[in-house]
Amino acid sequence: MEYNFREIEQKWQDQWKQQGAYKVSNPEPGKTAKPKYYVLDMFPYPSGAGLHVGHPLGYIASDIFSRYKRTKGFNVLHPMGYDAFGLPAEQYALEHGVHPAVSTANNIGNFRKQLDKIGFCFDWDRQVNTSEEGYYKWTQWIFLQLFKSFYNRKTAKAESIDVLVAAFEKEGNMNHICPADNALKFTADQWRGMSEQDQQDILMNYRLSFCGYGEVNWCEALGTVLANDEVVNGVSERGGFPVVKKKLRQWYLRITEYADRLLSGLETVEFSDAMKEMQTNWIGKSYGAEIDFEIQGLAGQSLRVYTTRPDTIFGVDFMVIAPEHELVDVLTMPEQLSAVQEYITYVKSRSERERMAEKRISGCFTGAYVLNPFNNQPIPVWISEYVLAGYGTGAIMAVPCGDERDLRFAKHFDIPVTNILGEAYNGVEANATKDAVLHNSYFLDGIVMRDAINIVLEKIEERGIGQRKVNYRMRDAAFSRQRYWGEPFPIKWINGIAYPLEESELPLILPKVDSYSAGPEGEGPLANIESWTSQHLETNTMPGYAGSSWYFLRYMDPHNAAEFCSKAASDYWGQVDLYIGGTEHAVGHLLYSRLWTKVLFDLGYISHEEPYKRLLNQGMIQGSSRFVYRLNITRDGAAVLNNEIYVSKGLADRYNAEELSFSELIAEVKSQFAALPAIDAGDTIAINPIHIDVNAVDGVELDVEAARKTRHNYVNAVFILENGKYICGAEVEKMSKSKFNTVNPDDLVVKFGADTFRMYEMFLGPVEMSKPWDTKGIEGVHRFLKKLWRLFFDELKGKVWVEEAPTAAELKILHRTIRKIEDDNERFSFNTAVSAFMVCVNELTDLKCHKKAILADLLVLLTPYAPHITAELWALLGNENILEAAYPVFDVKYVTESAKEYPVSINGKVRTNINIALDAAQADVEAIVLGNEVVIKWLEGKPHKKIIYVKGKMINVVV
RNA sequence: GCGCAUGUGGCGUAAUUGGUAGCCGCGCUAGACUUAGGAUCUAGUGGAGUGAUCCGUGGGGGUUCGAGUCCCUCCAAGCGCACCA
């Protein structure tokens, strides 16, 4: 009997499907026999391109871990679903007229087929699809909870908007500063006297999901707005289209109110430092102060700036305001009017993208001066685009000796620089230190900057010319899209007031449309539907991240028609214990889903406020591209050759490095391709690298016949070899179809089987690490599985496994492996675990060990990695269901050495007359000096180190 | 520019976290069984040297009895952020 993986894998996949073997149930109330464990993958967007070998990496890791936890006696939730709303499906619909629901369903079908072949243990009964009514009903419902809530800064949590209304009626808004407008103040009487419209407008400024006008990232090509994290370098993340700022009516999530809790929550979760860093940077909390500078000649009027360095107040040489600053008109003096107007026109002409791409120093003097509040020195006020209107107060105090940008600006416009840093400033580079001693700073002279910060802050507050202020870089998240393929907002507009739909009216079903083109005035396709607009329904839809912000909760209770997830279910499953996915969602999805979880927690719907306890970031699998070198010979601009000629890499390199002359190259080509047309010395030759399908290349050696099948042009092409081989060039790039470097998992599964594929993906290296795909080593893993098979069956002899009792040596191999695999699994070191399996099987093979007692335990260790072959062998040993098998317990006595005596050498040489000084840590070792030798005696049953110290010198123990 | 992580044989990687560097696999070399093998098995495989030995973890320096691991510095390629005052 040989290892027929195709038959075996098909058989077990069918059987498990039929049995519903991976079905996970929520425990009956009061019955919680098993502890729970929740392993989650970031669910995929079902794109039309299908899976490549990079996608399943994280899924395989999570699958192994889930199966492992199951053998450890946990009730494991390991679901999968689809993030099915989104732009690409709609773009496809625009181009091909296929309804997004149809193309999405097709893509999901493909994904599912591919995933099934790899043998995952997902409980498909719990599958979610964010574009299904039964799912998005609850996305809409949660949106309404946000809409009906505000963030109570007094209690630091979300509360019902009714609480706010009650407070307004009793005492106005004195206890609830308006997050959208600090200056808004009203009394209870004023509130009661307002029209409904005015009251609703005010409430909108408090709601956690709210509608307002604001500068948004408008992408004309996509016809919609984008969230900040969907814009990269001034162009859209999807498609790379230009993005401009535009004022539009938009829905937002008031995520800024949660900035602090999103920050502090990071301390309670196990994310990588890099991930925490990215989120922290995105939130961008900074501590500083707002300071008012009186405008010279305009008593009572002042310019307010934001600074994190009030200690540098005497180093302020000029002020800079953003071109959009509201005081531009007030500050512009008549003699500067035309210059300022010209500058503002210039700034407006520059797109966001230009501003990002070339950061040139530009600006204009307003003619106005403000007064330094501490010494009344006049300070000139400038306008420049390097100050952003949207951050702080849109105005800064510039301290050129301490800030590089300020210094560049000062130098460019010849503004004199005051040095408050003494020797710490060299006149060439700004120094942003906080540790220098202040100079030229009046009452601060001689004080270290770090300490001066507080002194200045206190003076400022004492004199009432400013106050401490915390700022965040993060903005409220744009939450509407002018597109079709998303969740409709459950909102009706009547007389300019947004009314939420009743829960009984949900789901608000996305209607069918005839065309996906944009509606009037920047509105989405829904604005073209008469039956929709006549009901005054909101025409925007929700962005892609809406459905993915809470899907981990739906998995817990996927079929609940009455709630998004029952409290009993979310209390049982709790946090996601292990979340696996890529880093690309660091600031988008991860931040939004943390926000939604916190709101649901505040409102009492769930009992935990951080969704993910532990996050594991899988590395990206890059493509390893291969190139062939095309010979282009032209005469007077026209191609000389009818055939396409490709030369091997060595020839191309040598020619390009001028080690090979024109005529030598032609001679080489001619020797292999006699039909080469005559070449003139005056012809020009170019050798161009061209991507070739990696699947036609073995390492770097091209399989010429396989290559001919990959592209039409290659059928009659001529390949010029070196040493009888065609060698390709290689380069690591992103995996993509256009670079012909994608490797399809289906092909590998057909050739080697799912078990081999799974183990090989893990064997490649640590899951967290990015690496280029290389299929070369897969045979080694496949050989391992065949070797394992031969421990049970021999091609000639048939069954070779026996019932005999194992020897101590065999038990030692087994128990060491049990411990090693457990350690490796627990720390997600799946690559070293695969190595350990290979060592184990090699050793058992060497010992000719075919004993059932050993082999059965080994199968249980291995089943998370290679579920099919282990199930088959387990059944052949006469055992019941391997999915129910428990992880074996290792016996310490086989793992560690038992009491034994070892001769000892010091640094490789045997020493005499040694005084032994044992560390406390090595107290499980006993050492005896015997003449020329030191004998080390290990006490039984404890793990040990092989090293002890003798009078400060190391002893190497030779075992 | 700032931040984060990384650098080990021909290649992917490992090293029990400061203790004999190179486990496991690929590739390569030699051999066995074969009509044949891209099947399987055996032996070898960091470099130099017949050898004992010596040299080796991107470069340089430091801490330590001892450094791939810790510290400083430089170099290289990678990811993230990018006028946030």
pLDDT digit string, tens, across residues A52-83: 777 889 999 999 999 999 999 999 999 999 99
Distance A811 CA to B23 C1' (A): 21
What percent of chain A lies above the pLDDT cut of 70? 92
- Extract the runs of DSSP E, i.e. beta strands, from A773-887: 793-794, 798-799
What pLDDT does A426 receive?
80
Verify if strand B has an atom below 7 Å from the CB of A848.
no
What pLDDT does A940 receive?
44
Distance A271 CA to B58 C1' (A): 30
Distance A847 CA to B43 C1' (A): 18
Distance A796 CA to B41 C1' (A): 15
Distance A726 CA to B26 C1' (A): 21
Give pLDDT tens digits for A162-187.
999 999 999 999 999 999 888 899 99
What is the spatial distance between Cα A277 and Cα A382, in angstroms, rounded to a whole number? 34
Nearest to A327 by CA among A319, A318, A335: A319
Distance A638 CA to B12 C1' (A): 45
Verify if strand B has an atom below 7 Å from the CB of A288.
yes
* Mean pLDDT value across residues A475-502: 92
Q: Taking a C-beta distance cutoff of 8 angstroms, is the pair A318, A379 a contact?
A: yes
- ipTM of the complex in this document: 0.93
Give pLDDT tens digits for A391-440.
888 999 999 988 888 998 998 999 999 999 888 888 888 888 888 889 89
Residue A351 binned pLDDT confidence (cut-offs 50, 70, 90): low
- Name the nucleotide with the smallest C1'–CA separation from A764: B12
Verify if strand B has an atom below 7 Å from the CB of A812.
no
DSSP state for residue A129 in the 8-state scheme: B
- Name the nucleotide with the smallest C1'–CA separation from A838: B24
Give pLDDT tens digits for A825-860.
999 999 999 999 999 999 999 888 999 999 999 999
Residue A236 binned pLDDT confidence (cut-offs 50, 70, 90): confident
Report which residue type is found at A346: Y
Distance A619 CA to B60 C1' (A): 32
Verify if strand B has an atom below 7 Å from the CB of A951.
no
Give me the residue label for tokens 């592209």. A711
Q: Taking a C-beta distance cutoff of 8 angstroms, is the pair A46, A128 a contact?
A: no
Residue A355 binned pLDDT confidence (cut-offs 50, 70, 90): low
Distance A202 CA to B58 C1' (A): 62
Residue nearest to nucleotide B14 (CA to C1'): A832
Concatenating the DSSP letter of every residue in A5-43 gives: HHHHHHHHHHHHHHHTTT---PPPTT---SPEEEEEEPP
pLDDT higher than threshold 50 for residue A199: yes
Verify if strand B has an atom below 7 Å from the CB of A776.
yes
Residue A907 binned pLDDT confidence (cut-offs 50, 70, 90): very low
- β pairing state of A36-41 and A578-581: parallel
What is the spatial distance between Cα A529 and Cα A545, in angstroms, rounded to a whole number? 25
What pLDDT does A383 receive?
93
For strand B, which residues in window 154-183 of chain A come within 7 Å by CB?
A: none
pLDDT higher than threshold 50 for residue A914: no
A177-200: buried (b, 16+ CB within 10 Å) or exposed (e) per residue? eebbeeeeebeeeebeeeeeeebb
Verify if strand B has an atom below 7 Å from the CB of A921.
no
For strand B, which residues in window 350-409 of chain A come within 7 Å by CB?
A: 355-356, 359, 385-388, 391-392, 394, 396-397, 403, 405
Verify if strand B has an atom below 7 Å from the CB of A954.
yes
- Name the nucleotide with the smallest C1'–CA separation from A957: B20
Concatenating the DSSP letter of every residue in A797-824 gives: TEE--B-PPPPHHHHHHHHHHHHHHHHH
For strand B, which residues in window 856-875 of chain A come within 7 Å by CB?
A: none
What pLDDT does A694 receive?
81
Verify if strand B has an atom below 7 Å from the CB of A306.
yes
pLDDT higher than threshold 80 for residue A194: yes
Cα angle: A380, vertex A381, A383; to 5 degrees: 140
Residue A250 binned pLDDT confidence (cut-offs 50, 70, 90): confident
Give pLDDT tens digits for A448-459.
888 899 999 999
Residue nearest to nucleotide B3 (CA to C1'): A277
What is the spatial distance between Cα A199 and Cα A206, in angstroms, rounded to a whole number? 11
Distance A843 CA to B23 C1' (A): 13
What pLDDT does A226 receive?
76
What is the spatial distance between Cα A626 and Cα A742, in angstroms, rounded to a whole number? 11
- Name the nucleotide with the smallest C1'–CA separation from A956: B20
What pLDDT does A942 receive?
41
Give pLDDT tens digits for A776-819.
889 999 999 999 999 998 877 778 889 999 998 899 899 999 99
> What rounded mean pLDDT belongs to chain A?
86
Residue nearest to nucleotide B83 (CA to C1'): A386
Verify if strand B has an atom below 7 Å from the CB of A831.
yes
What pLDDT does A936 receive?
56
- Name the nucleotide with the smallest C1'–CA separation from A385: B83
pLDDT higher than threshold 70 for residue A864: yes
Give pLDDT tens digits for A258-291.
999 999 999 889 888 888 888 888 898 888 899 9
What is the spatial distance between Cα A48 and Cα A54, in angstroms, rounded to a whole number? 16
What pLDDT does A352 receive?
63
* Mean pLDDT value across residues A284-312: 90
Distance A649 CA to B11 C1' (A): 19
Give pLDDT tens digits for A726-776.
877 777 777 777 778 888 889 899 999 999 999 999 999 999 888 888 888
Cα angle: A376, vertex A378, A384; to 5 degrees: 135
Distance A761 CA to B58 C1' (A): 28
For strand B, which residues in window 483-542 of chain A come within 7 Å by CB?
A: none
Residue A937 binned pLDDT confidence (cut-offs 50, 70, 90): low
Q: Which nucleotides of B are covered by protein (CB under 7 A)?
A: 3-5, 11-16, 19-20, 23-27, 39-42, 65-66, 78-85
Residue A897 binned pLDDT confidence (cut-offs 50, 70, 90): low
Distance A5 CA to B9 C1' (A): 34
What percent of chain A lies above the pLDDT cut of 90? 49
Q: Which of A390-394, A430-434, A582-586, A894-898 has the highest mean pLDDT?
A: A390-394
Q: Taking a C-beta distance cutoff of 8 angstroms, is the pair A77, A38 a contact?
A: yes
What pTM value is reported for the model?
0.88
- Name the nucleotide with the smallest C1'–CA separation from A387: B83
- Name the nucleotide with the smallest C1'–CA separation from A278: B80
- Name the nucleotide with the smallest C1'–CA separation from A396: B85
Give pLDDT tens digits for A523-554.
888 999 999 999 999 999 999 899 999 999 99
Verify if strand B has an atom below 7 Å from the CB of A469.
no
What pLDDT does A941 receive?
41
Distance A697 CA to B42 C1' (A): 31
